Structure 1
Amino acid sequence: MRTASGWKRWVGGLAAAGLLVGCQTVPVYGNPEPSSPEQPPHHFFTVEWWTRLVAPSLLEYAPREQARPAYDEKNERVIALTRDGYVRSIGAEGKEAWNYRVGNRFYAGATVHEGTVYVPGTDGVLHALDAKTGAPRWKYVAGEALGTAPVIEGDLVLVSSLSDTLFAVKRDTGALAWLYRRDAPAGFTIHRTSAPVVRGQSVWVGFSDGALVSLELADGGVRWEKSLAPGSGGSGQFVDVDTTPVLDNAGHVYAASYTGGLYCLDADTGDVVWNSVAQGITSLLLHGDVVVATGDDRLDAYMADNGRLIWSRSLEERAGLDAVLTKGLLLVPVQRSLIFVDPRTGKTRLTWNPAEGVSAPARVVGSKVYVLSNNGYLYALRLDGRSG
């Protein structure tokens, strides 16, 4: 439901740019920010619906929504985790089907699998909810704030904490199967967390001491570990490997240390294939032969086979977060806005700021994109761009 204040904010921005057409479906031609006078002759997306999930607070400064929306395919609903501590299941036209209160803000989105919603709480609890009704099925008390979307593999649920612990929980009961923990380094670290990635019977995950570790899926046993910190000493500040590792089909794994740069390693042995010294990288996207790296004030594209830089662009002191590639465009949240980037050149095709900007990565479902803005509005966009 749209309140008067939310409606005025949205309509004011569009009306100033001369873009308002109707009440429910809003064609957006280029940049809806009033500060952008020039509009391209074609549009990139249409806003099909939007709904406010979080009421504004008078004392809140610079609100941030960080949890990526999830999608419940069976019930055709979006699962949104918001800064007021609620899990919400949102159906067609933005209507709420159910909500569940955790009580703490979230740093990562939920995962929906076979009728269950797995919610990583910063209250230190992994919650399993019925996707249709929101009723609790089980809880696992980790005792540490959880910071990644759960990964489902076989009968296990894998989730990382903000305190350098990877938990493996049994999917049917919520009982602990195993955990792997590393000691955090002395000094300051980046407030992000690497999510595990699984292929076959192996797991790869990064830690704040600069290590990338490969584990056995069955019991959490260490296959190998590699320091990506500068000098491979694992000491110093901001050596975190907060990128979720990405795997190609040639037996390589890609990850980055905040100060140690981007690495390509042999996925079976941990041997280094190549290293780029670019710093500040916090997330990676692999598409074909190209690795797209986002991070503090930068967005880069590298050749996956040798690490050669294809293009690099500044984000003007903004922190780029997890990008998605769809319809021939990169969608990159940079906190103040969502930018649409040409993946061939790195040039911005569109900047969209739905009031207070966007920090949470977008969720793509077919030709739809679900975006949770920093002021707690959930938007359903229909993409009109070309694939490729």
Structure 2
Amino acid sequence: MTESRSMFRLLPVVAALALGACSSLNPFSDDGPKMAELRDIQSKVTVSPRWSASLGDAGIYRFNPAVVGNDVVAASAEGVVARFTEAGQERWRTRLEGGLTAGVGADEGLVVVANGKGEIIALDGANGQEKWRKPVNAEVLAEPAVAQDYVVVRTSDNRLFGLDRSTGETVWTYKRVTPPLTLRTQSGMLVDKNVAVTGFPGGKLAALNLNNGGLIWELTVAYPEGTTEIERLADVTGVPVLYRQNLCAATFQGRASCFDITNGKTIWSRPASTSVGIARDARQVYVSETAGAVAALDAFSGASMWRQGDLTNRQLSAPVLTGGGILVGDAEGYVHVLDRSTGAFIGRAQTDGSAIKAAPQPLGDSAVVQTQKGRLYVFDVR
């Protein structure tokens, strides 16, 4: 994100859209149509676990692992937070009482999680010792974002808190009125230096100044459409993706859109629906669709390149790009690898049989995967 840091300041401020108070809808319900049966595939890559470790059950929550340098930091609902080397050696492990609801936000010096009391807990990145804990008095579902001077926390009612990195004291809050019905899901943040970019219900993408919580600019990924509140759900999901000067994001039952951040103009926008998010490389944007397909869109025009539809209703995770292909997890703990050019299956592996709801994370040419039963894996895809 370094080369585009100054570009965030070039976008005009767009007026916020004021909408009514909200309740939430869970898009990850286990009830629904039957999942597609998996077909045998001809593997062209080897998908093998380099190492795995147990952290404890995720319960009803999702815990996205974090990659810090070549280390992996992860947490569970049981209160376990642990840091591992690239080779799987445990550097430290801490158990926090009361259980956790979100994590992990981390950099070299700080690891941050949230508990069921609405407290934000910061641990020393070197040894796991608690440094501070501060209440935000609200449920936290998304992992906190750790920036140079601040920890940014998003609550389930779509408030953002800027906490002093050293003390945890609240420096600013950002609040917006949200629609009557929203998804009960994580919407992560893209953070660099003094800017945070995140999506909101109603199809909005906003950039905030981390020094004071002020709105720098706002863009529209999708406009809510329909006559009922459910039809009008158009929440931005996952973490916005920045590639050079292009910023891309997608919504639930709305659109995927890419913007030029030097002027705020829409490069392209097309219908799409995802409850987990997208990924991007130099040529394509990859979408894990709500219905279970994985789609590739041309990064410069939004044109459809391919669509892999053999994972219908398998409740896919967000996609992650590895050196060997595109990796997604599913509700039965399978890891699928797709060819970037064609979308064809080129590899598959199984974890512990529980759902992979957390967003896999890249680790070099490998991927970090965490299951709902709390098993952490690093998969090499070659």
> Under TM normalisation by the shorter chain, which class is it?
0.7 to 0.9
Match status 1:100 vs 2:95: yes
RMSD over aligned Cα atoms: 3.0
Match status 1:192 vs 2:185: yes
Distance 1:236 1:68 in 2: 29
Q: 1:275 to 1:93 in 2, by over 3 A?
A: closer
| Superposed displacement of residue 287, structure 1 | 0.9
What percentage of aligned pairs have identical amino acids?
25
Q: Which amino acid aligns with 1:53?
A: L
Q: Which amino acid aligns with 2:109?
A: G
Distance 2:40 2:242 in 1: 42
Q: 1:36 to 1:311 in 2, by over 3 A?
A: closer
Match runs of 1:211-222 below 5 Å = 211-222=204-215
Match runs of 1:1-388 below 5 Å = 40=43, 44-54=46-56, 66-73=62-69, 78-90=72-84, 95=90, 97-107=92-102, 109-187=103-181, 189-199=182-192, 201-230=194-223, 236-237=229-230, 238-250=233-245, 252-267=246-261, 270-280=264-274, 282-296=276-290, 297-314=292-309, 315-336=311-332, 337-357=334-354, 358-381=356-379, 383-385=380-382
Distance 2:225 2:267 in 1: 15
Distance 1:247 1:379 in 2: 26
| Superposed displacement of residue 290, structure 1 | 1.4
Q: 1:300 to 1:241 in 2, by over 3 A?
A: same
Equivalent in the alignment of 1:29:
none
Matched-pair contact (CA < 8 Å) for 2:112–2:120: yes
Q: Which amino acid aligns with 2:154?
A: S
Q: Secondary structure at the match of 2:160?
A: strand
**Structure 1 stretches lacking a partner, 5+ long:** 1-34, 56-61
Q: Secondary structure at the match of 1:157?
A: strand
Larger radius of gyration, structure 1 or 2? 1
Matched-pair contact (CA < 8 Å) for 1:72–1:131: no
Distance 1:217 1:232 in 2: 32
Q: Which amino acid aligns with 1:284?
A: I
Matched-pair contact (CA < 8 Å) for 1:146–1:162: yes
Q: Which amino acid aligns with 1:54?
A: G
Query: C-alpha deviations, 1:196-240, integer Å up to 9, x for none?
Result: 223564432111233222222321222333444435799833211
Distance 1:203 1:233 in 2: 30
Q: 1:232 to 1:205 in 2, by over 3 A?
A: farther
Equivalent in the alignment of 2:31:
none
Q: 1:368 to 1:86 in 2, by over 3 A?
A: same
Equivalent in the alignment of 2:4:
none
Query: C-alpha deviations, 1:270-295, integer Å up to 9, x for none?
Result: 44332101233530112113111123
| Superposed displacement of residue 118, structure 1 | 1.7
| Superposed displacement of residue 96, structure 1 | 7.3
Q: Secondary structure at the match of 2:146?
A: strand
Matched-pair contact (CA < 8 Å) for 1:81–1:106: no
| Superposed displacement of residue 190, structure 1 | 1.7
Q: Which amino acid aligns with 1:316?
A: T
Matched-pair contact (CA < 8 Å) for 1:164–1:182: yes
Distance 1:190 1:99 in 2: 31
| Superposed displacement of residue 375, structure 1 | 2.5
Q: 1:63 to 1:248 in 2, by over 3 A?
A: same
Q: Secondary structure at the match of 1:343?
A: coil
Q: Which amino acid aligns with 2:329?
A: P
Matched-pair contact (CA < 8 Å) for 1:51–1:94: no
Equivalent in the alignment of 1:58:
none
Distance 2:239 2:50 in 1: 31
Tell me: higher relative CO, structure 1 or 2? Use CA pairs within 8 A at least 6 residues apart.
2
Matched-pair contact (CA < 8 Å) for 1:49–1:94: no
| TM-score normalised by length of structure 2 | 0.77
Q: Secondary structure at the match of 1:275?
A: strand
Distance 1:249 1:380 in 2: 28
Distance 1:239 1:374 in 2: 26
Distance 2:207 2:133 in 1: 27
Distance 2:68 2:221 in 1: 36
Distance 2:234 2:41 in 1: 42
| Superposed displacement of residue 138, structure 1 | 0.9
Matched-pair contact (CA < 8 Å) for 2:42–2:347: no
Query: C-alpha deviations, 1:270-324, integer Å up to 9, x for none?
Result: 4433210123353011211311112311211111221111111222112222221
Q: Which amino acid aligns with 2:374?
A: G
| Superposed displacement of residue 145, structure 1 | 2.1
Q: Secondary structure at the match of 2:64?
A: coil
Distance 1:224 1:71 in 2: 29
| Superposed displacement of residue 45, structure 1 | 3.4
| TM-score normalised by length of structure 1 | 0.76
Matched-pair contact (CA < 8 Å) for 2:45–2:346: no
Distance 1:93 1:328 in 2: 21
